[in-house]
Amino acid sequence: MSEVGLSTARGLEPLSGPRRVRRRRELIVEGVLAVCAGVAVLATVGIVVVLLFETIGFFSQVSLLEFLTETRWTPLFPEKHFGILPLLTGSLVVALGAGLVAIPGGLLTAIFLSEYAGTGLRSFLRPLLEVLSGIPTVVYGYFALTFVTPVLQLAIPGVGAFNAASAAIVLGIMILPTVTCLSEDALRAVPPALRQAAYGLGASHMEVITRVVVPGGRSGILASFMLGLSRAAGETMVVSMAAGNSPRLTLNPLDAVQTMAAYILQAGQGNISPGTLDYRTLFAVGMALFLLTAAVNLGSQWVLAGSRGARS
């Protein structure tokens, strides 16, 4: 039955020519959007399947207990050891160090831009911050080697040419625009009526910011923190150039370390044959990095849900 017949049988007025054309266009747009969403889902599933397949092959040759508890990581050496702990601690030291730089600095900058800066100053500073996001990471790596590390060596005697602190500081600067811009958007999204109500109750400007605006934008602020930390955990070039690519089990930020992402970059540039154990270590480390970032995101959702429950 035709579209006009269906409309008549249902007691509806038949669609006119322009309305029929508009409806078809809407269906085409819906189909294109559905295809785009499906491609994103399929890409994610494909990545997880490839990681899982190669990781299972890795653990068919290496004990999971050794992978989680061994303190040495030398898969490319003649004497092979497959302990992920040195790479895990290196990733945590660098990512948390970057968070110590970017999270307070980004949140305070966002508060200034949202609550204190005028329109002209904000329109000048916001694009200036966003420029930092467009700087190539190799430039950040050279900045860490040629400027940050010498400054650390002057301030702290005994610091080597490669260390986790230099990489963490530069990574913190690199993710600062992400934290700042997303946090500012979250703060500016808080309804002005809440601010005016607080002022009407006699609250000061600082009290309005700390007790109304920041709690009101908590979800967006937390999302900016997690996105920044995830980017810091997955960064390769800066860490490879500044941290030293030395897989050692240490929590001292002044030592040279190697992160999981840096190992993938280093080993992936070598002559590794597909299907070998050395090749599968890339996927095992990639799966560990994937699980780490997923745990960070799930943890943030759990904290956010708990805070919402406490407020309600």
Same domain for 159 and 109? yes
CATH code at position 185: 1.10.3720.10
The reply to whether 219 falls in a domain is yes
Whether residue 10 lies inside any domain: the answer is: no
Report the number of distinct structural domains present in the chain: 2
DSSP codes, 34-54: HHHHHHHHHHHHHHHHHHHHH
Q: For 177, phi and psi rounded to 5 degrees? A: -60, -35
Q: How many CA atoms within 13 Å lie on the side-chain side of 300? A: 18
- Over the chain, what is the mean pLDDT? 85
Q: Is the pTM of the predicted complex or chain greater than 0.85?
A: no
Specify the higher pLDDT residue, 10 or 244.
244
| Longest Cα–Cα distance in the chain | 87
Q: Give the mean pLDDT of 218-239.
A: 86
The proportion of the chain whose per-residue pLDDT surpasses 70, expressed as a percent, equals 91
Asked if 211 and 261 sit in the same domain, the reply is: yes
pLDDT tens for residues 248-304? 888 889 889 999 988 988 887 767 778 788 888 999 999 999 888 888 878 777 766
Q: What average pLDDT does the segment 129-143 reach? A: 87
Phi first, then psi: give them for residue 7, nearest 5 degrees. -65, -40
Asked if the model's pLDDT at residue 169 lies above 90, the reply is yes
| Predicted local confidence at residue 111, as pLDDT | 93
Residue 1, pLDDT score:
47
Q: Are residues 162 and 250 in the same domain?
A: yes
246 Cβ contact list (under 8 Å, min separation 6):
162, 255, 256, 257, 258
Mean pLDDT of 39-48: 88
pLDDT at residue 129 greater than cutoff 50: yes
Q: Does 116 share its domain with 213?
A: yes
Annotate 219-244 with three-state secondary structure.
Answer: HHHHHHHHHHHHHHHHCCHHHHHHCE
Quote the domain boundaries for residue 169: 85-311
| Lowest mean pLDDT, pick from 37-41, 129-133, 162-166, 179-183 | 129-133
Phi and psi angles of residue 138, each rounded to the nearest 5 degrees, phi first: -65, -30
Please state the rounded mean pLDDT for residues 192-196: 89
Q: Are 13 and 7 in contact (CB under 8 A)?
A: yes
